[in-house]
Amino acid sequence: MTQTPAPTRRAKSGPPLRDEKLKQRRAEARTGYAFLLPWLLGFILLTAGPMISSLYLSFTNYNLFEAPKWIGFENYTKLFQDDRFIQSVKVTLTYVVFGTPAKLIAALAIAMLLNSKRRGRGFYRSAFYVPSLIGASVSVAIVWKAMFGDAGPVDQILSFFGIGIGGWVGNPSMTMPMMILLTVWQFGAPMIIFLAGLKQVPAEMYEAAEMDGAGSVRKFLSITLPLLSPVIFFNLLMETIHAFQIFASAFIISNGSGGPAGSTMFYTLYLYLRGFGDFRMGYASAMAWLLLIVIGIITLIFFKTSNNWVHYSGDEK
């Protein structure tokens, strides 16, 4: 008699308890979704949706006014007969291949300087980081254009040393070095990441190496670089992807024309000109997807080859 109520009570009280928990979990989920909603809507409306429509448009002839006409792979095949497209690929690859390593070397060098204990460290760190904060802005590109212009400070200083090249901005063979210098100057973001990486290198390792008689070059090659390799990998990947997308500075320096003589016709700039200048949205979409695919492939190659040179701590191989 006395045993029976217990199970019933348990049976009775059990479900409400589970209900309670379930309700609570559902409420939590609802709150979660509610908080997620703005992002989710944004993603669907502003990213996923346009991406899908862009993929569709890349197979069409679309001039913004009339309904898109399906033309299959014509946009993609046309690309490879387009001299200006080939030019834009060349310009962009030159920029990526020379600009990115130069930027990373500068970032690492300055990071190592700032890692040592000296006075005013905080100030220097901020000062070196500032250019990358304002780097993408229009004003910097304008200032840069003025600096490298005819009779600008750069030309004057070089002339003082007897290397007068004249203005860089109007000289097709000097615009690429100028663009690369501009990106190198914006080394702040990778520098900060390098600094964080350098902080992780145990001081004892350097001390041990010193006791074994290693010089600073040896220490750099055998300790700093290998231990920093994951950070280098990260920076290399990010900066490469970033470099492929250069647009604003090229647009400003060439007044949106990609000139002089096509020397700053970067991929994204040409894409933009095709889309909004010539109303060839299908063509521009095809270019955008091609860029996505190429960046995807390059990222994949980076990851595949990274096993050979990136060392993670605790990773014994």
Partner 1 sequence: MISRRNFITSIATGVAATALLTACGGSDGGGSAGTVEKPTVINYTWWGNDDRAERTNKAIALFNEQNPTIKVVGTFTDWAGYWQKRATEAAGGGLPDVMQWDLSYLRDYAQRNQLLDLGDIGIDISGFDKTLLPSGQVNDKLYGLPAGTNAFAVYYDPAKLKEIGVAEPTGKWTYAQYQQFLTDAGTKSGGKYYGSTDFSGIWWLFNIYLRQNNIPAFTADGKLGFTKADLNAWWSMNSDLRGTPAIIPAADVTQLLPKSPFGSNKTVSEPTWDNFMGGYLADSGAKELNMVAVPSDDPDNLGLFLKPAMLMVASAKTKNKDAAAKFIDFMINSPEVGEIFKTTRGVPASKTQREGTTFDGVDAQVVAYEESIAKYLTDAPEPPIVGFGTLESEFLRIQEELNYGKVTVDEAVDQWFTSAEDVISQNS
Please give the residue ranges that form the binding site for partner 1 (CB under 8 A).
45-47, 49-51, 53-54, 61, 63-66, 83, 149-150, 166-167, 169-172, 241, 244-245, 247, 255-257, 259-262, 268, 271-272, 275-281, 284, 288-289, 291-292, 295
| C-beta closer to partner 1: residue 108 or 273 | 273
Closest approach, Cβ 156 to partner 1, in A, equals 14
Identify which of 255, 290, 291 has the alpha carbon closest to the alpha carbon of residue 273: 255
| C-beta closer to partner 1: residue 66 or 315 | 66
Helical ranges in the chain per DSSP H: 5-42, 49-57, 74-79, 83-94, 100-115, 121-134, 138-147, 153-160, 175-185, 188-200, 203-211, 216-219, 225-244, 248-253, 267-272, 281-309
Specify the DSSP class assigned to residue 258: -
Quickly tell me which residue has 């130069």 as its tokens: 102
| C-beta closer to partner 1: residue 47 or 156 | 47
Which tokens belong to 279? 């109303």
CB 87 within 8 A of CB 265: yes
Closest approach, Cβ 210 to partner 1, in A, equals 44
Closest approach, Cβ 275 to partner 1, in A, equals 7
Residues 169, 166: Cα–Cα separation, whole Å: 9
Which tokens belong to 64? 């913004």
CB 59 within 8 A of CB 72: yes
Closest approach, Cβ 158 to partner 1, in A, equals 15
| C-beta closer to partner 1: residue 65 or 160 | 65
| C-beta closer to partner 1: residue 209 or 291 | 291
Phi then psi for 76, rounded to 5 degrees?
A: -70, -40
Closest approach, Cβ 13 to partner 1, in A, equals 53
Letter string b/e over residues 71-109, b meaning 16 or more CB atoms within 10 A of that residue's CB = eeeebeeeeeeeeebebbbebbeebbebbbeebbebbbe
Residues 54, 49: Cα–Cα separation, whole Å: 8
- At residue 224, what is the residue type? T
| C-beta closer to partner 1: residue 181 or 228 | 181
Closest approach, Cβ 54 to partner 1, in A, equals 5
Closest approach, Cβ 32 to partner 1, in A, equals 25
| C-beta closer to partner 1: residue 74 or 219 | 74
| C-beta closer to partner 1: residue 93 or 292 | 292
CB 273 within 8 A of CB 256: yes
| C-beta closer to partner 1: residue 24 or 245 | 245
Closest approach, Cβ 181 to partner 1, in A, equals 17
Residues 286, 54: Cα–Cα separation, whole Å: 8
Closest approach, Cβ 286 to partner 1, in A, equals 11
Residues 24, 30: Cα–Cα separation, whole Å: 10
